[in-house]
Amino acid sequence: MPLTLTVPAIDPVEDLTVEKRPRHLQEWLNALPLTNLPVASGSLSYEIGALNRQKVAMETRLKLLELYRGAILKLLPALEEQFVATRLPLPEKNRELADLSRQLLTELATGYKIILLDYQGTRITLGKGKIIQFAAQRAMSMLGRILAICYQIYAPAPAGVWFEIHQIFRFAIEQGIANETVSDENGESSIGLVYKQILLLALSNPYHLNPGEVERVLGYLPRFGNLAQFQPFLQAGNSAGLFLVQTSGDSPPKNVPQNVGEVDNRNDILLNTQAVFQALHQHAERLEAEQPSGAQHTPEAAKESSHRDLLQRLLKLWSAAPKRVYHRSQNISSTEVCVGLPAIHHFLGGKKPAGEDADAPPVQLGRETRFVSGKWLIVNESAGGLALRGVFDTLPQIRPGEVIGLKAEGGGDWNIGVVRWVQSDKPNELEIGGQLMAPKAVPASIKPTIAGAAETFQAALLLPEILLLKQPETLVAPRGTFGPQRELQLELGDGTTLIVRAVRLTEQTSSIERFEFSRG
């Protein structure tokens, strides 16, 4: 199958200002002000872009691109600090640096893609095998990095990226080089290994990850990625750990369809993650036993509870793709939304004035004393959740796992939900996916009964029992509140005081905990 990669047209007139001598390029790169991120990024992007529009021999182009790649890999960590785990939507300066990063990687990937197309068009390929191994691995790696940045800033993947990634893998299979190793920043790598890592990252449900968690997933991929295996599509009763990869399309891997008619047996393959699941499960057990192995690969934060939470989610995601329980329908209505426990607590009328009760300190609602809600467009909805789009001059800070309040047009109770995914491709626009937890809530204030003198009440929500769903009443409180059999003091908005005991944790995110409790 011929490659149909997107590259710019070659300029018929030679540009003498484009540096085509590796030694002189290295001297220019050594003088580049890498500490000035906008200038260095812009200069590199411009120079690589100019090279991509000039006719250059494959061998020379590869040498030049490798020099550019070395400089970019030094620059990327500093760039990523400016947009990874930053509030959403990204401030203008941070967004510009994220865009510069993607542009750098796009130009670099384009250069390697040009080599692949030149190889495809040449009659004499003898002696050029190592060139295409490097070019294919590098092109796929750069495209994968572009996807990673999109996940980190919750931006949609550029159109055509997945199509090109799949094409390069198919090309490598046809050329018999998919498993040939080449040197990389992580040691030895291959086209097949990079492809598996990109697929596994996509299967980690990246738009549902908390800020900073994409980096943690990336940290595990070099260790566990190669355990994944490819196999032809076979209709089987148990599809656990099997994911469909449609190599002729422009989409990430997905759950194996129940209808075999949806599968293209010539182009579709299965990614088998069962060995990945087993190895990750053993690793998680060792962490629980506080006996981590492979220290050179284990992230520094591996002992944090949030990291262990992430491992548990990856175990679920890499063993079976999430399935939608309810059908979603299009909607053109809007809803009022407030974000975060303090804001919901405020709008439910639970805020207490300072000094009202000397024995019951006021609820700590953060440094901000002004809470706002905004009108969001409902893009689509189902019985269990909805997708929302908000366009404002100043958008609220929001991330996956944050609790939100939703109130329909015309009033009524505040519904309580939790953000499951976030996307943002414009500085004043956000798209979020929310899952509903309860149709209403009671504002509450909570703190442990055994607490230090300086420990204050925190905003919480009491969610009612739902008999139809056999769902007991639960509490939603800031993360860190729950402890097995922990005794807690609960102050309700009507002045009622309760002593409750935490029983079972039902959900924990980066922001909140939801748990069942017993009264008295």
Residue 83: pLDDT above 70? yes
Does the pTM surpass 0.85? The reply is no
Confidence class for position 454, pLDDT limits 50, 70, 90: confident
Confidence class for position 394, pLDDT limits 50, 70, 90: low
103, 114, 136, 425 from 428: Cα distances, Å: 21, 36, 37, 9
Confidence class for position 48, pLDDT limits 50, 70, 90: very high
Report the range of poorest mean pLDDT among 216-225, 372-381, 412-421, 440-449.
Answer: 372-381
Which position has the higher pLDDT, 58 or 469? Answer: 58
Q: Where are the beta strands (DSSP E) in 96-234?
A: 182-184, 187-189, 229-232
Q: What is the pLDDT of residue 451?
A: 76
In degrees and rounded to multiples of 5, residue 329 shows phi and psi of -115, 155
pLDDT for 264-308, tens place per residue?
878 889 999 999 999 998 888 888 776 544 444 444 556 566 778
Q: What is the mean pLDDT of the chain?
A: 85
Residue 331: pLDDT above 60? no
Q: What is the pLDDT of residue 319?
A: 85
The residues spanned by each domain of the chain are 22-178, 230-317, 329-519
Sign of CA dihedral 99, 101, 104, 105: negative
User: pLDDT exceeding 90 applies to what percent of the chain?
Assistant: 52
Task: For residue 69, give the 3-state DSSP assignment.
Answer: helix
Confidence class for position 362, pLDDT limits 50, 70, 90: very low
Q: What is the dihedral of CA 5, 9, 15, 21, to 10 degrees?
A: 20
Alpha-carbon distance of 451 to 455, in angstroms, equals: 6
Q: What is the pLDDT of residue 366?
A: 45
Q: What is the pLDDT of residue 358?
A: 33
154, 249, 252, 472 from 162: Cα distances, Å: 17, 7, 7, 44
* Residue from 395, 231, 256, 411 nearest 323 by CA: 256
Structure tokens at 84: 């990874």
72, 192, 231, 302 from 219: Cα distances, Å: 19, 18, 25, 11
- Count the Cβ atoms, other than its own, within 10 Å of residue 219: 15
* Residue from 169, 234, 238 nearest 197 by CA: 169
pLDDT for 2-29, tens place per residue?
899 999 999 999 999 999 999 999 999 9
Alpha-carbon distance of 88 to 472, in angstroms, equals: 34
Residue 367: pLDDT above 50? no
Alpha-carbon distance of 335 to 434, in angstroms, equals: 12
Alpha-carbon distance of 399 to 87, in angstroms, equals: 8
Q: What is the pLDDT of residue 104?
A: 97
Determine the residue type at 470: K
Which position has the higher pLDDT, 299 or 64? Answer: 64
Residue 360: pLDDT above 50? no
